[in-house]
């Protein structure tokens, strides 16, 4: 089992990254994210020789790629010339400038590429688990994966759409409590059948994959096109927050999902990596 001290460090750094993202502080976000990802890479469970060398390398590769995605994103925040200022002639000229838009797109493409490769590394690591660990993961995946996916999408819609759809904050909270309670029951039942590590790995992989896919999908839909003095485009572009130097609730939730998903999946995978030894 993982020791309490490294886990305490991770639990302390993750909220720092999320709060830093929420309030638009790239330095707090970067410090918290690096501590979490670096702590996972150096965690005693990940460095355990009982886990195969290939699995350790793949998991560390996943963490390194997530760190690179974060560094590229934070560099974009630091280098942003806007600082939350309202649109003016200079901003309009910059937004429609092909060179600036190409740079923004390439930065987003780099982030999406890192997230995609991180998910590939994680998928290969799961596929190379010992037979017993892979069997447990496969049996837990259908129910736990679908339930986690529904919960993640529900939480993603929670700040805006669901409150408007359900009519009140109380109804939203009740619905969230019922859904999350049902998911917890499904995960607990799967843990009794297949062990604790397998459903946790499924939850972590799903939580990590959803924001990664959303970023990749956004980039695929954002191929830069030539724009002249299109006031509607400029207004939409600025208001949507694409050029905002700070962050918002959606970005903070994405950071939380990536950090939580990576932590759950990595620690559960190293546990599943020794499943054959535990049953022998």
d(CA 186, CA 208): 19
**167 in the Ramachandran plot: left (φ > 0), alpha (ψ -120 to 50) or beta?**
left
Helix, strand, coil percentages (3-state) for the chain, rounded to 5, are 80, 0, 20
Instruction: Note the pLDDT of residue 10.
Output: 78
Looking at residue 150, what is its pLDDT?
A: 87
CA 273 to each of CA 141, 216, 276: distance values in angstroms, whole numbers, following the listed order: 17, 29, 8
Residue pLDDT tens, the chain, 280 long: 445 566 677 778 888 898 888 888 888 889 999 999 999 998 888 888 888 888 999 999 999 999 999 999 888 777 665 554 444 555 555 555 667 677 788 888 999 999 999 999 999 999 998 888 889 999 999 999 999 998 888 777 765 555 555 556 676 677 777 878 888 899 899 988 888 899 999 999 999 999 899 888 888 877 766 554 454 444 444 434 444 444 467 788 889 999 999 999 999 999 888 765 544 4
CA angle at 156 for the pair 150 and 159, rounded to the nearest 5°: 130
pLDDT confidence of residue 44: 86
Q: How far is CA 134 from the centre of its chain?
A: 23
Contact 212, 119 (CB under 8 A): yes
Q: In angstroms, rounded to a whole number, what is the distance separating the alpha carbons of residues 187 and 147?
A: 9
Residue-level pLDDT at 246? 46
With a CB cutoff of 8 Å and minimum separation 6, the contacts of 169 are: 163
pLDDT at position 251? 84
pLDDT recorded at residue 233: 47
Position 236 scores a pLDDT of 45
Round to whole Å and give the CA distance between 36 and 7: 9
- Round to the nearest angstrom and report the end-to-end CA distance of the chain: 18
- Per-residue pLDDT, 50: 84
- Phi, psi for 258 (deg, rounded to 5): -65, -45
Confirm whether pTM is higher than 0.85: no
């Amino acid at each position: 089992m993982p020791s309490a001290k490294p886990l305490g460090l991770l639990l302390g750094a993750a909220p720092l990254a999320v709060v830093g993202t929420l309030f638009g502080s790239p330095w707090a976000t970067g410090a918290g994210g690096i501590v979490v990802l670096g702590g996972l890479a150096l965690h005693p469970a990940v460095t355990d020789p009982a886990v195969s060398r290939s699995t350790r390398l793949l998991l560390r590769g996943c963490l390194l790629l997530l760190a690179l995605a974060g560094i590229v994103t934070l560099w974009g925040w630091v280098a942003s010339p806007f600082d939350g200022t309202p649109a003016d002639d200079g901003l309009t000229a910059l937004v429609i400038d092909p060179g600036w838009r190409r740079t923004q797109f390439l930065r987003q493409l780099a982030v999406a590429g890192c997230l995609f490769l991180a998910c590939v590394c994680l998928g290969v690591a799961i596929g190379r688990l010992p037979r017993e660990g892979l069997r447990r993961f496969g049996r837990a995946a259908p129910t736990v994966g679908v339930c986690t996916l529904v919960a993640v999408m529900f939480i993603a819609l929670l700040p805006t759409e669901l409150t408007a759809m359900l009519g009140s904050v109380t109804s939203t909270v009740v619905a969230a409590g019922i859904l999350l309670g049902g998911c917890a029951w499904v995960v607990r039942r799967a843990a009794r059948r297949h062990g604790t590590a397998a459903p946790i790995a499924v939850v972590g992989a799903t939580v990590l994959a959803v924001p990664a896919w959303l970023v990749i999908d956004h980039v695929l839909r954002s191929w830069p096109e030539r724009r002249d003095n299109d006031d509607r485009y400029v207004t939409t572009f600025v208001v949507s927050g694409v050029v905002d130097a700070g962050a918002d609730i959606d970005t903070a939730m994405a950071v939380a999902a990536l950090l939580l998903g990576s932590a759950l999946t990595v620690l559960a995978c190293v546990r599943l990596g020794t499943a054959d030894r535990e049953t022998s």
